[in-house]
A and B are shown apart, each in its own frame.
Chain A
Amino acid sequence: MRPALRLAAILLALASAPAYAAKPGQEEVQSDISMREISIQSNFTGIEILIFGSVDFSHAPAPDEGVYDVIVVIRAPDQPLVARRKVRVAGIWVNGPGKTYPTVPEFYAVLATRPLRAITSEETLRTLGIGLGNLDFGGRTEGDLDEQTFRSAVIRLKEQQGLFQDIDDGVSFIGRSLFRATVDLPVNVPIGRYTAAVYLFRDGTLVSKNESTLEVNKVGFERLIYLLAFRHPFLYGLLAVVMAVLAGLIGWVVFRRE
C-alpha cells in the first residue's frame, strides 16, 4: 500500500498543471467536446458526441509513427447504488441481500488509442483511476469472497445499459497532432455535469492532461415534468389526476351515444 501511496503523491504532483506548463517545448494536450450542452427532449433517442484535441509541441515525425497515446475518460457524477443477487427461496427467485456502493459514476466511458494496458502500466492506470477495473465504487469490504462477483456484476449491468463503455480503439490520430474520439450517449443517459478528461501518454508516461465539461440536461416539457415530479411531487400527482379526468371527459364527449 505504501509505495502505491507514494506513487500517487508523485503522480498528483505531476498532474498539476504548472509542472509541465513550466517547461517550454514539452508536449501539451488541448481538447474540447463537439457540444458543451446536451438537451434531453421528448424526441431524444441518444446522441453521439465528439471529443477532439491536439498535441502541442508534437514530437511525432509522422502521423502513423504512434509516438503518443491518448486516453479519454467521460464521467458523470457519482451516485449511490445497490446491487442485488437473486437467490432461490421455496422455488421462487427473490432478491437476496444487496451490497451498497456509495460512489458509482452514473456514466463512465473510457476510450483510448490502444488497449489501456498496452499504453501504460496497471499501476499508473490504478492511480489515475482510469479503466472500468480501476473505478472506486466505495464500500469495499476487504476479504469478502462475493466482492469481486458483485463488482463485476455492477460493471456488466452498467455496460449492458450503455452507461459504462470501454473502447480500445475509440481514439484515432489524424495527422501528427490532431486526434478525435466519438462516444455514444444512450437514451437513458443520466443528467448532470460530465467531465471529459484527456490524458496524453508518451512511452507509458503521462505527459499532459486536459479537462473539459459537458452539461446534460432535460429541457422544455421534459424538464418541467422532471422538476415537478421530484421537487413538487404532490402538485405533480394532482396535475396527473386533472389530466386524466380531462382525458376521460373528452373520451366521454367524443364517444357518447345518446
Chain B
Amino acid sequence: MRDALAPDTLLSVRNLQTHFVSRSEVAKSVDGVTFDLKRGETVAVVGESGSGKSVTSLSIMGLLAHPGRIVGGEILYRNRQGTVRDLAQASAKEMKRLRGTEIAMIFQEPMTSLNPLFTVGDQIAEMITLHEKISYRAALDRAAEMLELVEIPAARRRVNDYPHHMSGGMRQRVMIALALANKPSLLIADEPTTALDVTIQAQILDLLRRLQSEMGMSILFITHNLGVVAEIAREVVVMYAGRVVEQAPVVDLFARPKHPYTEGLLACTPNAARDVDPNGVRLPLRPIPGSVPPITALPPGCTYAPRCTYAVPGCTGAVPPLFSVGASHLSRCFRHELL
C-alpha cells in the first residue's frame, strides 16, 4: 500500500477517519476523506464551519485536541529522506520533529497568532534556531531575509517591530515568514485570508503563489471561500458534515459542479453581473436552506438530503458512494446525472 505512493506525490490522505469520542456520543468529524497532494501543487479543502476541514488539517499536523483521535485510514507523507511515513501512526516525537521543519501551518487570526511580547524578528529567529544549529545573530539576519522574502517594506528595520506595530496583512506576512523559515515541503494554510480585507487577501494569495513557485512547497489550503479557491488551487475537495461530497480539478468544479451542495455554494457567491435581471433589479441571493446538521446527529443516508432541492425519498436510504462523474471528478450524489 505504501509503495503505491506515486513519486511526485508528497501527501496522500487515504480514507482518513477522525472521531471525537465523549462518554455519550461519537462525533465523526472526518469520515473517510481521501485526496492526494503532489509536490509544488495546491489542493483546496472547502466547506462550511463544522464540515471537518480544519480537523482534517489538524489530523495531518498531529495536533488534535483531546478527545479527538484518528481511528482509521492513512496519512502517507514522503519526508525529506524520501521515505514514506504514515503520519496517522507516527509517534508524538516524530510529529514534533516534522512540525515547523517539513510541515508548517498558518492560521486564520493574524492579529493574535504572534506573541505580543517579542519582536517579529525574535520570533522568526526562534523558529530558525529551534531546528537549526546557528547563532541567534545569524538567525536574526535570516529573519530579516525572510521578511524581505514576504515583501515587508524596510524589512531590516521592521525586524525589531512588535506585532502591535503591524497591520493584519503585515502580521499575516510575518506568519508566512515564520512558517516558511525552515523551508517546509508542506504548508497547511487554514483560512489564512479570512480575517483580511479583499485587497490584502489578493496580495497574500499572490505572495503565496509566488513563494510556492520559488520554494516549491505544496500547499493544503483550507477555506470556505470559493473565490479564493479559484485563485489558488489546482484541485478542490468539497467537504460536508465530515465527508467529501465532491472532488474535482478547479476548472471542472466551477464549470460543472456535480453535487447539489457545490452548486448551492456557487449559487450563493455574490455575482453582480449574474444577480441582476434585465431591468436592473437585483435578484435575491439564493442561500442554501437550513444549516449543517450537528455532527453527532447526522441524518440517515445522504447527510445533505434534508437541505437538497434534488432530494428524493431514496436519498435517505443509504450513504451514497463517491461516483466517478468525469476525469478525476468525483461526486457523492445518487442523482449527479441531473446536474
A interacts with B: no
